[in-house]
């Protein structure tokens, strides 16, 4: 192996020099890392000092220096001005503190390398009977007390709850912070509580007037830890736009299969489209709009430091928090991979000394949320009769005495009316029963903490036979191996399996047939045969949806294991070295089988069986130094490191046809005598990055942060493999200014600003290389090798796509953070778009990847969290988020991109996701025959489109923008109301201004349907009903008539959804302890409870081809269920 | 010890290499930089040139649609029983506009294969891995195919870009149009090269053979003699001479029975000079014709009866056949009844449908593997007769020409006797009947600017004639398809 290979670029040089110096420094310098992390060792430090009558504060400072320790205390509890004397000569710190502090009523303990001082608990008041010398009578005599409550700045604090002995009795402080209680006893304790402040208890004794100073709570939301790339921060100190969600919020909806479903609606600016009701369907996540045309739009997921993880593979109940990096400055530390935002998931860790078992269970019942208005059997028969009657005298086969088709007497009575009326939406669906179970063990001891989790989820789909099962096992271990070494290791093993009987979106699949199968047919005839559409002459033949769901097997699954190992070396004080090794191995499979009797699917082939297998593996190694130090009022944190990533994947396909028997399914492909061409593939890609970030603050008032990442990828051109991604951000925490502390209305105020550049290179592998495609061809019936040029010209000059984003935000808290507001505006410009540019066909290629054009996304987001009411028994809090995003194509090199699948157009000056087509004006009337013929070769009864360019004929110039697939705004509101042990939860989701193209309606309301249709088709044009948008009914071969993409089927998909409504009860009764239960909670929950929309399909939040530019096309969507679930959660 | 732990990861970073790590290593694909190193590779590249032949047959989203049918819809003699896409309606009714998606397919089905030809010609011309005889033959195939792709395109679109060298970068890909003259000159040049490349006269494997080269050259000369170049008599003479080379070689002969044209055993032999190769087993190369041409509404006469309705003869055109014409009899070129699939009862169809592409095996197996004819000997015979009749001023008694015509006619009318002379109109009408629905008729109409007035059973001028299925009469502007707007947007020089 050859070391010192020529490393490209300045970065490698810099790394060499700096690392070299560090290397030498460590070799030559004696590592002074004396202080032990263990508490006892710290207290053993020797102290030598002698002071007389000095303030406690000064004395503590001197001890800090002497013993190399840090004290932590609140000045409102510890009076540091009191005079003390200390004299010590090499005694242990423990002895010194004991003699200094115990006499003045102060206790101490070591927490996190700091010595925390607190008041010694007040001495217990002796119990009446035995206490000698106490006036027993006075103890029981009630008297009035009053007092004043102030905040940490001495300002009056209204609204503080004052309780006697934690009972129901008590009051609330008035606007002046004053309170009065009429009847308390000497033995009573007063409890003061207020959100955002620590609870305080004061024994009454003989005191009549109290002055209570409330201390801000350490559980203050602003102090919540936020995970930033390669480190942590707190909400208060953030300079960037990061949305944080607690694990408990992710798990509010018990039916969520994965973290992404749980995250839906929780963060402003994060659009999570649950586009299908299919079990196991992963939602589409878009952060702050679509910023790329051809490159990936998916955010980067990081789980416990494992970069590029799959968030669907962990049990959501072990999630401690989710942090969503929305602006470029937050994401820039992940450089190229952060272009679409970063979602960081942190799992729970075991806590020292607390062993706990959590057991979560739910069972749920899903059913079709609503039916769409399709024709019933008699309406369908009417449609047939009208179609046939288009030609005078022609009668429908069911009415025609001369037409005795095979199933006529089974289907129709002697008057030609249908005998059956099968509601296929009911017949093809069921009440889906699902159950989820999760078991989590957590605990910690002596520097070792552990979490072990096992979960099983079995989700049935509402379509017959569809299901998704998941099994995951997760272990997370943290260990202080040595005073200078901490390791964190986790392993996640995940398996899932699901059956989706409806494959092939446009084909004769089960979902499509659920829409299109006429109600005149039974599921099976009395003789046991299943009905087919072709049983009625002239209808498009196909199996019925029940047959398809029962007979087709399309089972796919994932097996995935990830391991992540993080080692943290405390090299010297303030300097850590972190190294991460992560690995992932996975496999996927799809097993397909269609038996020998399915019309147009497997009948001609006499059975079809296929297996597709894929494997993937990746490893990541990241190494970085982190330095963190406080110099008086200056705090500095710096990280710098390097990252390596390697990913490879391969797949294999095999298939066979012509099976003499159905029992083999896909388990023995060798039985099939006709072999489908096998195929396989392999590809890999690599990344290498260098990154650094510096973060500085002064007195937690002024914050500055800058980061730089240099990213290399194998995917872009050899000459541009490395791209530089800088970011800057700053914040001013105005509320920490002295001038601001005089008021108490605004408890927190911070202004933030950031600018950063992130990259995107998520394009197909090998886009820089022109390739040959090798696929067989045939000569005289025999296959022969054939090689052709691929349709894509390889562009060796590809560069990174760059997203430049500026963000200005404000974080504010009012009334002691009872009202919290986070608002952001951003402007994101994506340039050098990795665009699969269309080439003139004369070049011989259809496209080439190139860096072309730019897109802008601008938006506004606001989140408001309020605690509306809080008192002992009743608490009501609300969280509202609202976001607006507007996209605009600034430049795509003059190209116009039409999408066949989405009926969309991407063109300069327009927003993305714009549908494009004709305007339906009505139907040509009898008096307009000549005009109709001239305009579009139409006849009366045909659809009439608007002549937008007024040239008298229907042509491309008559098309226009029809509407957008993305919402103009979206909002989410959650309310949590608790009364005593009951908690009520209500989650409302709304989108406005989005449109969905209703393809089923467009196809089924075709003027010449030979399938079932919507009820609205009965309003079709007739000579006596000319004022309609529905063209005249005819048989398919009566007359050329075709539908263009038009505004009629682009339907308003604005909606308001009661996404979730839940009621739970938490048991607090004493008997729980007798059965070893710590907490017990039961709940009932209705997911997708109510939907208000004008959209005519199943659900307006729909897309059949995924998100991004494909959003908003409903092609026979899998209907979404309404799910009622019961949950039982216990901890032991 | 402690230091060692700290050192280890630093060593890892320090000695890692950067450039090598990011080098792309493609698997399972070939790149031009390391191709053309063996005779097998070259053979595979040459065989790849044939895959473009089925470009027009690419199925679209809607049932029974493929651009190739447009070549019959545009004649006005073809009905589409199933409802049509907006693109198809333009061909069915006229006019075809600049935003026609099928026109885009005709365009790309020209230039993608042409680029493959350009690439093979450029690489193979300098190759030393194969002997010169093999190289010459393989170049002959490439030149023939490039000429074929251009010939279709120039006839459809008129003035088109001429590109005969491979693309080397994406910066200079906008090239302007060339005149039809220049395109035809290149076609003749390519075919002339192929003539001299030593190809065999017949090749049962279905590769390009000398008969195909000379037959195509015949058709090129015949077309150049007519519209739009109007090179006239001398080119009719060239066409006549070239067709005689094929006829006199004796490698080809008409099948005795029309059903032999649908015989999988007789493909690439006898009358079939050049065909698009199809497979029963290799699914991507299945033929679409059997299933797409089934009756619509569906009749249960084949294992998969539901996907038909692409084409049916216009009633007036069907009726233009003499009742004694064998081709009109049931299950020759057309059919009006068929036995039910898997049964013996006969189903009568409500109207005649095309039987030329009926595949007896496909009816049973659901897979259609018959080849598609590209050049038939009957076509060459009729070109011979037509060319000579034009040279001779509209009527000829040239023995070779009359005999050529009569061979074709006689198969349809077994009791007929050979005439002493024939007229151009007579030959051209025979072409309509003989080559119907083989995607030749439109090109005959545009090169001759004549149409078959089926109502009156005579040849008339094309301009001003309203074909039975069309909504308007042919105008000059209908004779070429507009270059697709999407291509003009990508290359404004095409405007």
HEC letters along A647-704: EEEEEEEEEEECCCCHHHCCCCHHHCCEEEEEEEEEEEEEEEEEEEEEEEEECCCEEE
Which residue spans within A93-214 are E strands per DSSP?
A: 106-111, 114-119, 143-150, 161-164, 170-172, 178-184, 189-193, 200-203, 209-213
Structure tokens at B283: 């699914």
Chain A residues whose CB is inside 8 A of the B487 CB are 840-842
- The verdict on a CB contact (< 8 Å) between A712 and B18 is yes
- The verdict on a CB contact (< 8 Å) between A31 and B27 is no
Which of B48, B278, B367 to probe the A interface (max A CBs under 10 A)? B48
pLDDT tens for each residue of B165-196: 999 888 888 888 999 999 999 999 999 999 99
Chain A residue with Cα closest to B469: A1040
Q: Which of B18, B175, B367 has the CB atom closest to A7's CB atom?
A: B18
CA distance B45 to A844: 15
- The verdict on a CB contact (< 8 Å) between A534 and B298 is yes
CA distance A492 to A471: 11
What is chain A's Cα-based Rg? 35
Q: What is the pLDDT of residue B254?
A: 96
Chain B nearest C-alpha distance from A1018 (Å): 21
Closest-CA residue to A191 (of A162, A149, A153): A162
Which residue spans within A500-633 are E strands per DSSP?
A: 553-572, 575-594, 608-631
Do A1010 and A383 form a contact (C-beta atoms < 8 A)? no
pLDDT tens for each residue of B63-99: 888 999 999 999 999 999 987 887 888 899 888 888 7
What DSSP designation does B458 have? Answer: E
CA distance A379 to A397: 16
Q: What is the pLDDT of residue B11?
A: 52
Chain B nearest C-alpha distance from A7 (Å): 5
- The verdict on a CB contact (< 8 Å) between A778 and B278 is yes
Chain A nearest C-alpha distance from B412 (Å): 28
Enumerate the H helices of A919-1025 as residue ranges: 929-936, 999-1004
Q: What proportion of chain B, given as a percentage, has pLDDT over 70?
A: 96
Q: Is the pLDDT of residue B7 over 70?
A: no
- In whole angstroms, how far apart are CA B244 and each of A55, B399, B403, B419? 122, 12, 12, 20
In sequence order, what are the residues at sequence separation of 6 or more whose Cβ sits closer than 8 angstroms to the Cβ of residue B1? none
Query: Is residue A92 helix, strand or coil?
Result: strand
- The verdict on a CB contact (< 8 Å) between A26 and B6 is yes
In sequence order, what are the residues at sequence separation of 6 or more whose Cβ sits closer than 8 angstroms to the Cβ of residue A643? A307, A620, A621, A622, A623, A687, A688, A689, A690, A691
Supply the angle between the helices B39-48 and B101-125 in degrees, to the nearest 10. Answer: 160
Q: Which of A31, A683, A1040 has the CB atom closest to B92's CB atom?
A: A1040
pTM of the model: 0.76
Peptide bond into B95 cis (omega under 30): yes
Which of B5, B20, B34, B83 to probe the A interface (max A CBs under 10 A)? B83
Chain B residues whose CB is inside 8 A of the A779 CB are 47, 50, 205-207, 277
Q: Which of A5, A682, A842 has the CB atom closest to B27's CB atom?
A: A682
Q: What is the dihedral of CA A154, A159, A164, A165, to 10 degrees?
A: -80
Q: What is the pLDDT of residue A137?
A: 45
Query: Is residue A1112 helix, strand or coil?
Result: coil
Chain A residues whose CB is inside 8 A of the B18 CB are 7-9, 11-12, 688, 712
Query: Is residue A828 helix, strand or coil?
Result: strand
Chain A residues whose CB is inside 8 A of the B43 CB are 785
As a whole number, the mean pLDDT across chain B is 91
Chain B nearest C-alpha distance from A511 (Å): 18
Closest-CA residue to A676 (of A651, A657, A652): A657
ipTM of the complex: 0.90
- The verdict on a CB contact (< 8 Å) between B31 and A843 is no
Q: Which of A3, A684, A777 has the CB atom closest to B51's CB atom?
A: A777
For the four alpha carbons of A739, A741, A742 and A743, in that order, the dihedral sign comes to positive
Triad A540, A545, A550: Cα angle to 5°? 135
Chain B residue with Cα closest to A4: B15
- The verdict on a CB contact (< 8 Å) between A956 and B369 is no
Q: Which residues of chain A have pLDDT under 50?
A: 1-37, 121-139, 218-219
- The verdict on a CB contact (< 8 Å) between A937 and B367 is no
Chain B residues whose CB is inside 8 A of the A403 CB are none
Q: Which of A684, A713, A776 has the CB atom closest to B25's CB atom?
A: A684
Chain B nearest C-alpha distance from A852 (Å): 13
- The verdict on a CB contact (< 8 Å) between B7 and A6 is no
Q: Is the pLDDT of residue B308 over 50?
A: yes
Do A295 and A760 form a contact (C-beta atoms < 8 A)? yes
Closest-CA residue to B227 (of B73, B446, B55): B446
Closest-CA residue to B124 (of B193, B52, B207): B193
Structure tokens at A942: 């045909």
- Residue B6 binned pLDDT confidence (cut-offs 50, 70, 90): low
- The verdict on a CB contact (< 8 Å) between A844 and B297 is no
Place of tokens 């209680």: A181
- The verdict on a CB contact (< 8 Å) between A779 and B6 is no
- What is the DSSP track for B152-163? HHHHHHSSB---
- The verdict on a CB contact (< 8 Å) between A23 and B206 is no
Which residue spans within B242-314 are E strands per DSSP?
A: 272-276, 312-313
Chain B nearest C-alpha distance from A580 (Å): 10
- Residues B242-266, mean pLDDT to the nearest whole number: 95
Chain B residue with Cα closest to A606: B365
Peptide bond into A563 cis (omega under 30): no
Q: Which of B17, B83, B490 has the CB atom closest to A1042's CB atom?
A: B83
Triad A653, A658, A663: Cα angle to 5°? 85
Chain B residue with Cα closest to A27: B3
Burial-class residue A588 by CB neighbours within 10 Å (0-12, 13-18, 19+).
middle
- In whole angstroms, how far apart are CA A171 and each of A143, A186, A565? 16, 18, 53
Which of B1, B3, B9, B46 to probe the A interface (max A CBs under 10 A)? B9
- The verdict on a CB contact (< 8 Å) between B170 and A837 is yes
Chain B residues whose CB is inside 8 A of the A683 CB are 26-28
What DSSP designation does A1075 have? Answer: T
Chain B nearest C-alpha distance from A933 (Å): 9
Q: What are the CB-based long-range contacts (under 8 Å, 24+) for A269-274?
A: A269/A243, A269/A326, A269/A824, A269/A826, A269/A859, A269/A861, A269/A883, A269/A885, A270/A243, A270/A324, A270/A326, A270/A341, A271/A883, A271/A885, A271/A966, A271/A967, A271/A970, A273/A1101, A273/A1103, A273/A1107, A273/A1111, A274/A1101, A274/A1120
Chain B residue with Cα closest to A1039: B83
Q: Which of A19, A600, A850 has the CB atom closest to B13's CB atom?
A: A19
Which residue spans within B203-271 are E strands per DSSP?
A: none
Q: What is the pLDDT of residue A122?
A: 43
Binning chain A into helix, strand and coil, the percentages to the nearest 5 are 15, 45, 40
Q: Which of B22, B84, B119 has the CB atom closest to A1042's CB atom?
A: B84
Q: Is the pLDDT of residue B110 over 90?
A: yes
What DSSP designation does B81 have? Answer: S
Q: What is the pLDDT of residue A772?
A: 87
Chain A residue with Cα closest to B51: A777
Q: What is the largest CA-CA distance in chain B?
A: 111
For the four alpha carbons of B338, B340, B344 and B348, in that order, the dihedral sign comes to negative
Chain A residue with Cα closest to B172: A843
pLDDT tens for each residue of A940-956: 998 999 999 998 888 87
Q: What is the pLDDT of residue A166?
A: 66
* Secondary element (H or E) of residue A881: strand A874-891
Structure tokens at A640: 């710098």
What is chain B's Cα-based Rg? 26
């Amino acid at each position: 192996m050859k070391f010192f290979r020529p490393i490209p670029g300045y970065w490698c040089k810099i790394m060499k020099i700096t690392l070299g110096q560090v290397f030498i420094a460590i070799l030559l310098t004696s590592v002074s890392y004396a202080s032990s992390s263990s508490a006892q060792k710290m207290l053993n430090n020797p102290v030598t000092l002698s002071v007389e009558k000095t303030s406690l504060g000064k004395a503590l400072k001197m001890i800090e220096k002497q013993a190399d320790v840090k004290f932590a205390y609140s000045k409102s509890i510890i009076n540091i001005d009191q005079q003390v004397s200390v004299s010590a000569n090499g005694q242990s710190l423990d002895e010194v503190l004991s003699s200094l502090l115990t006499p003045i009523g102060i206790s101490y303990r070591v927490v996190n390398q700091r010595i925390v001082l607190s008041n010694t608990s007040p001495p217990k008041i002796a119990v009446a009977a035995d206490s000698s010398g106490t006036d027993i009578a006075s103890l029981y005599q009630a008297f009035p007390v009053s007092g004043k409550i102030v905040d940490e700045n001495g300002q009056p604090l209204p609204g503080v709850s004052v309780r006697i002995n934690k009972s129901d009795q008590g009051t609330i402080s008035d606007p002046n912070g004053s309170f009065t209680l009429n009847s308390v006893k000497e033995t009573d304790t007063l409890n003061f509580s207020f959100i955002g402040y620590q609870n305080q208890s004061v024994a009454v004794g003989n005191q009549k007037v109290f002055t209570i100073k409330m201390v801000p709570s350490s559980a203050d939301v602003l102090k919540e830890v936020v995970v930033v790339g390669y480190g942590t921060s707190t909400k208060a100190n953030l300079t960037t736009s990061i949305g944080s969600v607690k694990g408990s919020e992710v798990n509010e909806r018990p039916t969520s299969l994965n973290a992404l479903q749980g995250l839906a609606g929780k963060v402003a600016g994060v659009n999570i489209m649950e586009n299908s009701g299919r079990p196991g369907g992963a939602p589409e996540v878009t952060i702050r709009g679509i910023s790329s045309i051809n490159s990936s739009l998916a955010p980067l997921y990081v789980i416990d430091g494992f970069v590029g993880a799959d968030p669907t593979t962990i049990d959501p109940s072990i999630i401690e928090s989710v942090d969503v990096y929305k602006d470029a400055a937050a994401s820039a530390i992940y450089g190229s991979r952060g272009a679409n935002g970063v979602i960081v998931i942190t799992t729970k860790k075991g806590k020292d000394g607390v062993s706990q078992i959590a057991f979560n269970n739910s069972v749920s019942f899903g059913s079709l949320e609503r039916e769409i208005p399709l024709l019933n059997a008699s309406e369908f028969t009417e449609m047939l009769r009208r179609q046939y009657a288009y030609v005078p005298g022609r009668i429908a086969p069911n009415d025609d005495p001369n037409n005795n088709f095979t199933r006529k007497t089974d289907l129709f009575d002697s008057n030609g009316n249908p005998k059956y009326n099968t509601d296929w939406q009911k017949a093809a669906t069921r009440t889906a029963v699902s159950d989820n179970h999760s078991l989590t063990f957590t605990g910690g001891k002596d520097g070792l903490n552990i979490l072990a989790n096992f979960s099983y989820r079995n989700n049935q789909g509402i379509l017959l036979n569809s299901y998704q099962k998941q099994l995951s096992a997760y272990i997370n271990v943290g260990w202080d191996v040595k005073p200078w070494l901490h390791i964190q290791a986790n392993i996640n093993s995940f398996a899932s399996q699901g059956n989706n009987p409806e494959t092939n979106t446009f084909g004769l699949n089960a979902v499509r047939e659920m829409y299109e199968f006429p109600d005149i047919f039974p599921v099976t005839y009395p003789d046991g045969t299943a009905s087919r559409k072709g049983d009625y002459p002239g209808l498009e033949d196909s199996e019925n949806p029940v047959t398809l769901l029962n007979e087709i097997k399309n089972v796919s699954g994932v097996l995935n294991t990830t391991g992540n190992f993080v080692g943290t070396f405390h090299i010297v004080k303030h300097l850590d070295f972190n190294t991460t090794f992560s690995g992932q191995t996975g496999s996927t499979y799809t097993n397909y089988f269609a038996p020998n009797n399915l019309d147009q699917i497997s009948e001609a082939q006499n059975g079809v069986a296929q297996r597709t297998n894929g494997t993937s593996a990746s490893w990541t190694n990241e190494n970085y130094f982190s330095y963190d130090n406080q110099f008086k009022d200056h705090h500095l944190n710096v990280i710098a490191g390097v990252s390596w990533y390697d990913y490879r994947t391969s797949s294999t396909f095999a298939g066979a046809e012509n099976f003499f028997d159905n029992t083999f399914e896909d388990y023995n492909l060798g039985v099939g005598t006709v072999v489908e061409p096998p195929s396989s593939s392999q590809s890999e890609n690599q990344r290498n990055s260098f990154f650094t970030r510096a973060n500085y603050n002064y007195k937690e008032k002024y914050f500055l942060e800058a980061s730089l990442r240099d990213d290399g990828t194998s995917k872009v051109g050899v000459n541009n493999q490395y791209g530089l991604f800088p970011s800057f951000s700053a914040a001013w925490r105005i509320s920490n200014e002295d001038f601001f502390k005089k008021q108490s209305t605004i408890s927190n105020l911070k202004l933030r600003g950031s600018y950063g550049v992130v990259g995107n290179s998520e394009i197909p592998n090998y886009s820089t290389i022109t390739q040959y495609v090798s696929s067989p061809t045939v000569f005289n019936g025999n296959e022969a090798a054939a090689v052709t040029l691929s349709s894509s010209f390889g562009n060796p000059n590809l560069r990174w796509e760059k997203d430049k984003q500026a963000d200005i935000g404000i974080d504010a808290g009012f009334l002691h953070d009872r009202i919290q507001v986070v608002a952001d505006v951003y402007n994101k410009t994506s340039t050098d778009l990795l665009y699969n540019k269309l080439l003139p066909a004369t070049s011989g290629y259809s496209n080439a990847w190139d860096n072309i054009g730019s897109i802008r996304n601008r938006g506004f987001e606001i989140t408001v969290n309020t605690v509306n009411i809080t008192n002992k028994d009743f608490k009501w809090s609300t969280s509202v988020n609202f976001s607006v995003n507007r996209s605009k194509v600034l430049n795509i090199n003059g190209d116009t991109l039409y999408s066949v699948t989405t009926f969309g157009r991407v063109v300069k000056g327009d927003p993305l996701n714009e549908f494009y087509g004709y305007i339906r004006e009505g139907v040509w009337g009898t008096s307009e025959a000549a005009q109709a013929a001239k305009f579009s070769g139409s006849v009366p009864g045909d659809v009439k489109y608007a002549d937008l360019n007024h040239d008298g004929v229907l042509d491309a110039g008559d098309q226009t923008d029809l509407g957008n697939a993305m919402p103009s705004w979206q909002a989410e509101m959650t309310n949590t109301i608790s009364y005593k042990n009951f908690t009520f939860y209500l989650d409302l989701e709304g989108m406005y201004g989005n449109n969905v193209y209703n393809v089923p309606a467009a196809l089924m309301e075709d003027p010449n349907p030979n399938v079932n249709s919507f009820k609205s088709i009965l309003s079709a044009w007739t000579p006596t009903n000319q004022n309609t948008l529905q063209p005249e009914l005819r048989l398919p071969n009566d007359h050329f008539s075709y539908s263009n993409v038009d505004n009629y089927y682009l339907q308003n998909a604005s909606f308001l959804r009661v996404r979730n409504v839940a009621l739970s009860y938490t048991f607090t009764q004493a008997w729980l302890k007798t059965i070893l239960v710590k907490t017990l909670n039961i709940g009932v929950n209705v997911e997708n409870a109510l939907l208000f929309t004008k959209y005519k399909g199943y659900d307006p939040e729909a897309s059949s081809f995924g998100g991004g530019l494909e959003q908003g096309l409903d092609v026979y969507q899998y209907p979404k269920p309404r799910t009622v679930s019961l949950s039982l959660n216990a901890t032991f | 010890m402690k230091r060692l732990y700290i050192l280890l990861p630093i060593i890892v970073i320090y000695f890692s290499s950067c450039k090598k790590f990011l080098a792309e290593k493609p698997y399972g694909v070939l790149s031009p930089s390391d191709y053309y190193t063996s005779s097998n590779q070259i053979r595979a590249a040459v065989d790849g040139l044939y895959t473009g032949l089925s470009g027009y047959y690419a199925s679209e989203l809607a049932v029974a649609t493929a651009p190739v049918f447009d070549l019959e819809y545009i004649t006005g003699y073809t009905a589409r029983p199933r409802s049509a896409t907006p693109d198809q309606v333009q061909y069915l009714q006229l006019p075809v506009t600049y935003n026609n998606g099928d026109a885009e397919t005709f365009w790309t089905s020209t230039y993608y294969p042409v680029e493959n030809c350009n690439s093979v010609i450029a690489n193979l011309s300098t190759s030393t891995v194969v002997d010169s005889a093999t190289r010459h033959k393989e170049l002959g195939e490439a030149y023939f195919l490039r000429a074929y792709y251009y010939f279709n395109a120039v006839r459809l679109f008129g003035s088109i870009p001429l590109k005969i060298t491979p693309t080397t970068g994406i910066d200079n890909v906008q090239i302007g149009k060339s005149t039809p003259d220049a395109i035809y000159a290149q076609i003749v040049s390519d075919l002339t090269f192929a003539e001299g490349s030593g190809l065999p006269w017949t090749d049962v494997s279905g590769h390009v053979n000398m008969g195909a080269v000379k037959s195509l050259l015949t058709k090129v000369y015949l077309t150049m003699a007519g519209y739009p170049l109007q090179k006239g008599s001398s080119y009719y003479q060239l066409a006549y001479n070239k067709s005689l080379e094929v006829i006199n070689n004796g490698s080809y002969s008409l099948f005795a029975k029309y059903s032999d044209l649908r015989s999988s055993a007789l493909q690439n032999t006898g009358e079939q000079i050049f065909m698009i190769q199809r497979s029963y087993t290799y699914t991507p190369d299945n033929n679409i014709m059997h299933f797409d041409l089934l009756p619509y509404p569906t009749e249960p006469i084949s294992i998969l009866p539901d996907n038909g309705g692409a084409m049916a003869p216009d009633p007036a055109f069907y009726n233009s056949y003499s009742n004694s014409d064998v081709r009109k009899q049931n299950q020759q070129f057309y059919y009006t009844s068929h036995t039910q699939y898997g049964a013996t009862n006969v189903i009568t169809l409500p109207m005649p449908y095309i039987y030329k592409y009926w595949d007896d095996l496909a009816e049973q197996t659901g897979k259609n593997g018959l080849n598609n004819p590209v050049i038939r000997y009957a076509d060459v015979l009729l070109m011979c007769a037509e060319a000579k009749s034009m040279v001779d001023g509209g009527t000829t008694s040239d023995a070779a020409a009359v005999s050529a015509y009569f061979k074709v006619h006689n198969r349809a009318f077994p009791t007929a006797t050979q005439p002493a002379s024939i007229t151009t109109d007579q030959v051209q009408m025979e072409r309509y009947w003989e080559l119907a629905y083989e995607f030749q008729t439109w090109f005959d109409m545009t090169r001759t600017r004549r149409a078959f007035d089926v109502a009156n059973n005579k040849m008339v001028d094309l301009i001003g004639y309203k074909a039975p299925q069309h909504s308007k009469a042919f105008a000059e502007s209908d004779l070429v398809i507009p270059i697709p707007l999407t291509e003009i947007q990508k290359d404004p020089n095409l405007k």
